[in-house]
């Protein structure tokens, strides 16, 4: 799997939630990556070179790659990316990262918060297309239900995939889970200690969930994680 280095061209973007955008880019050469990996973007901002990582938010598709990003208040690179329009070029290197499916496949609990959903958007479709045996549960915590249509479609199409969104700002009439992911862990895990758990999001959530799982007796090799900060 070779490293692709050069400039990515922005094809377009769409809003997927307040302050959250889904970007489509084109790499200078076909990009081979394992779902769950990321691209490293760089740029010069205020006279300084800034480099940031972004998880691929869709399975590999030739030169095309997709990202899910939120604009961080006061954050230099995310703010810069939010000013870009189609045709803009961004220096890139990819792929990197080890947040990928562990083999052999097994029943898995996936936990994402906010834009931490990105790698799962790349990982789940190809995995569910070939694995109808193991069970995959996605606990997805966010202010707003990002990618609702795509995720609900995936859940409808695969009975071994269970989607559990938990919202911290639920809309009127919401009957699903609310609050932080941590609040639902005990109910979800019950007495199960055989899962592989995949975690993606900010450090505070990832560290907290890892601590809880370890207290319950999960081995560290059963916990695979990506921290965004």
Ligand X SMILES: Cc1cc2nc3c(=O)[nH]c(=O)nc-3n(C[C@H](O)[C@H](O)[C@H](O)COP(=O)(O)OP(=O)(O)OC[C@H]3O[C@@H](n4cnc5c(N)ncnc54)[C@H](O)[C@@H]3O)c2cc1C
Contacts to ligand X by CB under 6 A: 38, 52-55, 67-70, 72, 75-79, 97, 114-115, 118, 202, 226, 228-229
**Minimum distance of ligand X from residue 172's CB (angstroms):** 26
d(CA 221, CA 31): 29
For ligand X, which is the closer residue by CB, 79 or 160?
Answer: 79
In the complex, what is the shortest distance from the CB of residue 75 to ligand X, in angstroms, rounded to a whole number?
2
When the beta carbons of 140 and 226 are compared against ligand X, the nearer one is 226
CB of 117 to ligand X, least distance (A): 9
Which of 82/128 has CB closer to ligand X? 82
Nearest to 29 by CA among 2, 49, 56: 2
Smallest separation (angstroms) from ligand X to the CB of 131: 24
Q: Which is nearer to ligand X, 215 or 229 (CB)?
A: 229
| Comparison of 95 and 114: residue with beta carbon closer to ligand X | 114
- In whole angstroms, the minimum distance from the beta carbon of 3 to ligand X comes to 16
Instruction: Name every residue whose Cβ is closer than 8 Å to that of residue 178 and which is 6 or more positions away in sequence.
Output: 166, 167, 168, 170
Whole-number Cα distances in Å, 213 to 11, 45, 72, 75, 226: 41, 40, 29, 31, 16
Kindly tell me which of 156 and 169 has the beta carbon lying closer to ligand X.
169
Tokens 């959530």, residue located = 205
Which residue has its beta carbon closest to ligand X? Answer: 75
Q: How far is the CB of 104 from ligand X (least distance, A)?
A: 25
In this structure, how many other beta carbons lie within 10 angstroms of the beta carbon of residue 190?
A: 7
Q: In 197-218, which positions are buried (b, 16+ CB within 10 angstroms) versus exposed (e)? A: bbbbbeeebbeebbeebeeeeb
Q: How many angstroms separate the Cα of 62 from the Cα of each of 7, 32, 123, 193, 205? A: 15, 7, 16, 38, 33
DSSP state of 223: E
User: How are strands ordered across the β-sheet holding 20-26?
Assistant: 48-55, 38-45, 89-96, 4-17, 20-26, 64-70
């Amino acid at each position: 799997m070779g490293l692709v280095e050069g400039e990515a061209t922005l094809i377009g973007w769409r809003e997927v939630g307040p302050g959250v955008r889904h970007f489509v880019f084109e790499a200078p050469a076909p990009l081979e990556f394992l779902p769950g990996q990321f691209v490293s973007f760089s740029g010069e901002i205020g006279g300084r070179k800034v480099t940031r990582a972004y998880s691929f938010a869709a399975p590999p598709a030739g030169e095309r790659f997709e990202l899910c990003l939120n604009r961080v208040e006061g954050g230099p690179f995310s703010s810069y990316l939010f000013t870009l329009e189609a045709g803009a070029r961004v220096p890139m290197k990819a792929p990197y990262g080890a947040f990928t499916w562990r083999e052999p496949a097994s029943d898995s609990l996936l936990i994402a918060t906010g834009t931490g959903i990105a790698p799962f958007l790349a990982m789940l479709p190809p995995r569910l297309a070939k694995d109808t045996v193991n069970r995959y549960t996605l606990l997805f915590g966010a202010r707003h239900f990002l990618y609702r249509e795509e995720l609900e479609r995936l859940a409808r199409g695969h009975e071994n995939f269970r989607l559990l969104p938990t919202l911290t700002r639920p809309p009127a009439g919401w009957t699903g889970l609310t609050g932080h992911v941590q609040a639902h862990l005990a109910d979800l895990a019950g007495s199960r200690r055989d899962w592989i758990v995949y975690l993606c999001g900010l450090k505070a959530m990832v560290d907290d969930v890892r601590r809880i799982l370890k207290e319950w007796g999960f081995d560290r090799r059963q916990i695979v994680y990506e921290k965004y900060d």
